[in-house]
Structure 1
Amino acid sequence: MAEVAPRPLAELTTLRAGAVPARMVEAHTTDELVAVLRELWADGEPWLVVGGGSNLLVGDDPFDGTVVVVRTSGIEELPSPNPGHTRLRVQAGHSWDDLVEYAVAAGLSGIAAMSGIPGTAGAAPVQNIGAYGQEVVQTLVEVELLDEATGEVSVVPASELGLGFRTSVLKHHHGSVAARPAVILSITLELAQVGHGEFAVRGPQLRGALGLDPDATVTLRWVRETVLAVRASKGMVLDDADPDTWSAGSFFQNAVVTAAFARSLPPECPRWPVAPDPVADRIIPLNEYYGVDPTDEVAEPHVKVSAAWLIEHAGIGKGFALPGSRAGLSTKHALALTNRGGASAEQLAALARFVQQRVQSEFGLILQPEPVLVGVDL
């Protein structure tokens, strides 16, 4: 590992906010990353791991601890026990979009719809990133974890990570800590070998986003380039020359609500059904059984509703900014809070609070932030 002169976190995060921390270390190998984290945990020193910095809003006060910048990289192809598939083991600090490009160039399908998402591979499972119907949970096999509680390295199957809509047991949700504090060292994905010819795109959400008929066939390269173009049109592909991309992507999650609550929203609000969690098997003692199995009742599926629609129909349009603030909504996408140049973390947070309050007042729903907040309150 290499201790480096601390830099402002504004230079390491896509929201371009954050002061200079007390100490900064760069880890270029897994061994270095493990060693520095074990040292910090043993000393009880405050720590913050930064990869691509695309899912962080860091406060204006200096972070009083060590920032560990993850610089590990590398992709290893592994055989899969499933015919027609290949596994990729990817180091945590590897660029996610570079990984997608690698997969497309190799004719491997399963993550092309997530082209252009900023950040690193190690951060992808933490909030189960996704786009246009594809999510990491669909291809993730396992992760290599360094557990904070034990300092031990272990390989954990994806099924034990509690992967859900933009969540996992590893994510620090707003107002709470991770259920399993740990740092990802590498991830392993299993991707289908479709080659470079045309194939049928599965999933209505992805076909709809790409404008494809159900029987249309396209190449992986076409999917990637089309997704990149769609994301760029919304300011969701990083561009140093475009302040609309100086963001954390979608700042608020699309809300998952009960079907009953969804019916209280205007019918034109876009919505998508979310499959209910399966009911666990239950053994009912004979003396408690009255001829009706409560597990026979199938819960009405929850509904995911568009946060962008709620924001705009609460009267907050694209490009909105509070008076005198350098923070504003993207001029291309109402879900992106952007730094228009020189915005403080508090200005970004004030805008986020205003959006939350307006949506709650209009629709009775509190939007939840996607980024991890460090030294910032909403």
Structure 2
Amino acid sequence: MPTAISGLTTMRVGGPARAFAVASTSDELVSLVRDADASGTPVLLVGGGSNLVVSDDGFDGLVVKVETSGVRVDGDSMWVAAGERWDGVVARSLDEGLAGLEALSGIPGLSGATPVQNVGAYGTVTSDVLESLTVYDRETGETSVWGPERCGFGLHRQSVFKHSTRYVILDTTMRLRRSGSSDPVRYAGLADRLGVTIGDTVAAKDVREAVLDLRRQKGMVLDASDHDTWSVGSFFLNPVLAEVPSSASRAPQYPDPSGIKIHAAWLIQNAGFAHGYGTEFGNGTAALSTKHVLAITNRGGATTADVMALASHIRDGVEAEFGITLVPECDLVGCSLA
């Protein structure tokens, strides 16, 4: 019986995979990808499925579930297999007396996915701590170790991995700090939660607990019993504009090297889409989170088509109100906004 991709993603939508395999080691992962490439079979690598939406038609190729494992600590360096659960890696780093990852607590998905989007939260991004990574090149058939300078990390969660399937990340090594103290707190909401001012340092484990609390309040910590977490997190990117239109002048704005960044959540809410919006739209199976308007959620029984319809409706509403087009942040495979 075909494997349903819906069971492999946090949004819990998506049709069947034509073929399915699990990679438990890096060698297995490389072998599966190499053999599929040799036979001309399309490949979709799935980690935690926390940033992935696949068509209701499924994937006409090989879906490989990455389940490689292993963590090694050497001084202030931490080597991690791509298939390790990211939040477990953060917890392990703190247990080992290493600081630097605490602000990235609670992010779903696997370790190997973090360089793809240069994952960041609460003032910390992956490129801040990445020392090296092992990469399989599907074009050359070679495996090599890269430094972060080869990854093309840039603005808006970009990397050479984001828009190309040529490279497969097998493991990462992070350079951390042997300390019980956090990095300086850079995010106002986090500083408020900790009762400190921006720039202060506190116990790294306290930062982790505060971040987890903040993410839970937004429905951003996975919980099978909470439909607000049946999502890909933030569905839309925060737009970066050369000039903010007068209609959006009240939106929170931040300087960005490419222009001015404004909050997609503000645009969505002020275009008339409130928390929980969507239960009255379509068949009501897809809706905005009741906690966080940037998250489109599966309320139970949603299809990819339901999610795309709601996302298109919200994008169009924001564009009509402000003249700004929101762009999906997640990976869409075989589907798109109308």
TM-score by length of 1: 0.84
> Structure 1: any 5+ residue segments left out of the alignment?
80-85, 173-177, 277-300
Distance 2:17 2:263 in 1: 36
Partner-residue secondary structure (3-state), 1:22: strand
Structure 1 residue 207, shift from structure 2 partner: 3.0
Partner of 2:26: 30
Q: Find out whether 1:131 has 2:121 as its counterpart.
A: yes
Distance 1:136 1:264 in 2: 35
Partner of 1:222: 206
1:364–1:211: structure 2 CA closer, same or farther, 3 Å change rule?
farther
Structure 1 residue 202, shift from structure 2 partner: 4.0
Q: Find out whether 1:201 has 2:191 as its counterpart.
A: no
Moved more, 91-100 or 6-15: 6-15
Alignment of 1:118-197 (within 5 A): 118-164=108-154, 165-172=156-163, 178=164, 181-195=166-180
TM-score by length of 2: 0.94
Deviations 1:55-107 (A, max 9, x none): 1001100311110010001111234xxxxxx1111111100000010112122
Structure 1 residue 185, shift from structure 2 partner: 0.4
> Structure 2: any 5+ residue segments left out of the alignment?
none
Q: 2:252 aligns with which of 259, 270, 273?
A: 270
Partner-residue secondary structure (3-state), 1:90: strand
RMSD over equivalenced CA pairs, Å: 1.7
1:169 alignment partner AA: V
Structure 1 residue 37, shift from structure 2 partner: 0.5
Partner of 2:96: 106
**Is the CA contact (8 Å cut-off) linking 2:248 and 2:267 kept in structure 1?**
no
Q: Find out whether 1:64 has 2:63 as its counterpart.
A: no
Aligned residues: 333
Q: Find out whether 1:115 has 2:105 as its counterpart.
A: yes
Deviations 1:201-220 (A, max 9, x none): 24255535645224754211
When Rg is computed on C-alpha atoms for both structures, the one with the higher figure is 1
1:215–1:355: structure 2 CA closer, same or farther, 3 Å change rule?
closer
Q: 1:303 aligns with which of 260, 280, 286?
A: 260
2:333 alignment partner AA: V
Distance 1:199 1:12 in 2: 34
2:186 alignment partner AA: G
Distance 2:198 2:62 in 1: 51
Partner-residue secondary structure (3-state), 2:319: helix
Distance 1:323 1:346 in 2: 10
Structure 1 residue 342, shift from structure 2 partner: 0.7
Structure 1 residue 356, shift from structure 2 partner: 1.0
Structure 1 residue 187, shift from structure 2 partner: 1.0
Moved over 6 A (4+): none
1:27–1:140: structure 2 CA closer, same or farther, 3 Å change rule?
same
Distance 1:201 1:167 in 2: 24
Q: 1:235 aligns with which of 197, 213, 219?
A: 219
Q: 1:16 aligns with which of 6, 12, 18?
A: 12
Identity %: 45
Deviations 1:285-334 (A, max 9, x none): xxxxxxxxxxxxxxxx6222111111001111110111323100000000
2:191 alignment partner AA: R
Moved more, 348-357 or 106-115: 106-115
Partner-residue secondary structure (3-state), 2:335: coil
Partner of 1:312: 269
1:342 alignment partner AA: G
